[in-house]
Amino acid sequence: MSGVMERTLAILELLGKNPEGLQVSLIASELDMPASAAHRLLKELSQFGYVRQLRNQGDYALTIKLAGIGLAFLARTGVPDITQPILDRLAADTRELVRLSVIDGDDLVWVGVAQGAVAGLRYDPGREQGIKVHLACSAGGHALLSTLSDEEVLERIGAQGIKPDFPVGPGAPTTISEVLASVAEAREKGYAVSFDSYHAGMGAMAMPVRSTETGAVIGCLSIAGPAVRVTRELMEDFYPLLKEAAEEIGGAAEASFFFNRNRALTAQALETETRQAG
């Protein structure tokens, strides 16, 4: 890994995945850089308030500054104000976990959550907000892929990989043919499903969220819970509720510059592809 900017961003991303902090030697080893370079960059990040050393000669960890910048940006996009009441209502109606992911460039990122389960088994994603959705092993990822051609699916999976860098459930796809089969099912049903995939013991369903004005995909909406409770039969009952909420978000999204900006970028990309194909 070379380049000061590349190394600095890599350190921030690594520490973001390890909020308890990491030793300089481990950071250097994980990112394949000299320990002296890692230490120098950490000192500079510390001076600007982005990391702190937990104790003398101890681990380095992120401060809240970077998260604060992200939260402030998200609040100013209007996305939480627009979508949270809809997520809360869907969670209350289904009594399960509801999550919203939005498209940001080529990535699908979790930005909203509401928990409807108040008792018994429940799944609480403590560290997934703001994280890129892994397309191959998640219902949300398959929902997004279902809006693309098989060629585009192969490109996306090829770029991100079949296996994520974290443990997944025993039902996670291990071949591209399994992903394509699940994506084909999602196209037919109008929503994607996964069991024991992103997490062991979890059942999830998801569908794309489209702009009401243009039809462009702007994100994905999902319902998840323990697989013993969130069965295929229950998902069929949830489908009308999920569809209604996705359509409502698609209509309300016109009020957010973030969704409008992404829609404009998508339109520009499609126009460029059309010119190149012609």
Q: With cut-offs at 50, 70 and 90, classify the pLDDT of residue 256.
A: low
When mean pLDDT is compared across 108-112, 224-228, 265-269, the lowest value belongs to 265-269
Gap between the Cα atoms of 82 and 94, Å rounded: 20
**pLDDT for 18:** 87
Confidence (pTM): 0.72
Mean predicted confidence (pLDDT) in 12-36? 90
75 or 186, which is more confident: 186
Q: With cut-offs at 50, 70 and 90, classify the pLDDT of residue 254.
A: low
Gap between the Cα atoms of 235 and 106, Å rounded: 28
Share of the chain above pLDDT 70, in %: 84
Q: Look at residue 114 and give its three-state secondary structure.
A: strand
Tell me the per-residue pLDDT of 47-105, one tens digit each, with 9 for 90 and over. 999 999 887 767 999 998 887 777 666 666 656 667 889 999 999 999 999 999 988 88
Q: Could you tell me the domains of the chain?
A: 4-63 (1.10.10.10), 77-273 (3.30.450.40)
**pLDDT for 257:** 54
Question: Using the 8-state DSSP alphabet, how is residue 171 labeled?
Answer: T
How do beta strands 60-62 and 97-104 pair?
Answer: unpaired
**pLDDT for 104:** 82
Tell me the per-residue pLDDT of 140-183, one tens digit each, with 9 for 90 and over. 999 999 999 999 999 999 999 999 888 899 999 999 999 999 99
273 pLDDT above the threshold of 50: no
Distances (CA, A) of 98 to 34, 89, 110, 125: 43, 10, 11, 11
Distances (CA, A) of 104 to 135, 196, 255: 14, 27, 17
Cβ–Cβ under 8 Å, residues 169 and 196: yes
232 pLDDT above the threshold of 70: yes
Structure tokens at 7: 């190394």
When mean pLDDT is compared across 49-58, 157-166, 196-205, 224-233, the lowest value belongs to 49-58
19 or 236, which is more confident: 236
Cβ–Cβ under 8 Å, residues 7 and 39: no
Cβ–Cβ under 8 Å, residues 223 and 204: yes
Instruction: Could you list the beta-strand ranges (E) of the chain.
Output: 51-53, 60-62, 97-104, 107-115, 192-195, 202-210, 217-226
